[in-house]
Amino acid sequence: MQSPLTTSARGLELIRSFEKFEPKAYLCPAGKLTIGYGHVIKASEPHLRSKTLTQGEAEALLRDDCRTVEVYLSAVLPDWVRPHHFDALVSFCFNCGVKAFDGSTLRVKIKQGDRQAAQGEFHKWIFSKGRRLRGLVVRRACEALMFAGCSDSTIETERRRLEALKGPL
């Protein structure tokens, strides 16, 4: 059996840039109790509800969460997927969940080998509880650009442009 692909430093940085370090538990926009770099606290982790994390502990949780996604994606993605595709998809699955990706048109387009259509699918995932969220619009744009193989400077330029816009995105 081939070992799972892993998220690159670039992919981890993309996730961290959207999942700001929070040492104490908080409710994310989806209403889930979260801590660290976007780690959703599980029922089996009641100690995290009152804990204050160090950045090192948060980093360990992030890497564990990514590892779960990496194993899944390594099993379902086609051979043509390259590190930039993989990193974008880890960020997406980290945020939306493996279950959401598993039943998505994004996965179907990837399976069909239609990279351009797959890239366009990221932009559909900008809602939480029926509300369009600016942060998700920006995140999906960055993930789509990473998926397309764009440079970090291109992704950052587009991120800054979108974040600077006033009004709804």
3-state secondary structure (DSSP) of residue 152: helix
Q: Where are the domains of the chain?
A: 9-164
Token output for 127? 């809602």
Q: What is the reported pLDDT for 3?
A: 62
Query: Residue 57 catalytic?
Result: no
Q: In the predicted model, is pLDDT for residue 169 greater than 80?
A: no
CB 34: neighbour CB atoms within 10 A?
A: 19
Query: Among the options 13, 22, 28, 70, which is catalytic?
Result: 28
pLDDT grade for 1, boundaries at 50, 70 and 90: very low
Would the CA dihedral through 142, 70, 41, 11 be positive or negative? negative
The architecture in CATH of the region 9-164 reads Orthogonal Bundle (1.10)
Q: In the predicted model, is pLDDT for residue 54 greater than 80?
A: yes
Query: Residue 96 catalytic?
Result: no
Q: In the predicted model, is pLDDT for residue 161 greater than 60?
A: yes
Q: What is the reported pLDDT for 82?
A: 96
* pTM (two decimals): 0.94
Q: In the predicted model, is pLDDT for residue 2 greater than 60?
A: no
Q: Kindly report, residue by residue over 146-159, the tens digit of the pLDDT.
A: 999 999 999 999 99
Q: In the predicted model, is pLDDT for residue 23 greater than 90?
A: yes
Q: Kindly report, residue by residue over 127-141, the tens digit of the pLDDT.
A: 998 999 999 999 999
Contacts of 100 (CB under 8 A, 6+ apart): 93, 125
Q: Kindly report, residue by residue over 59-93, the tens digit of the pLDDT.
A: 999 999 999 999 999 999 999 999 999 999 999 99
Q: In the predicted model, is pLDDT for residue 123 greater than 90?
A: yes
* Beta-strand relationship, 22-27 and 33-36: antiparallel
- Least confident segment among 28-37, 49-58, 160-169: 160-169
Q: What is the reported pLDDT for 45?
A: 97
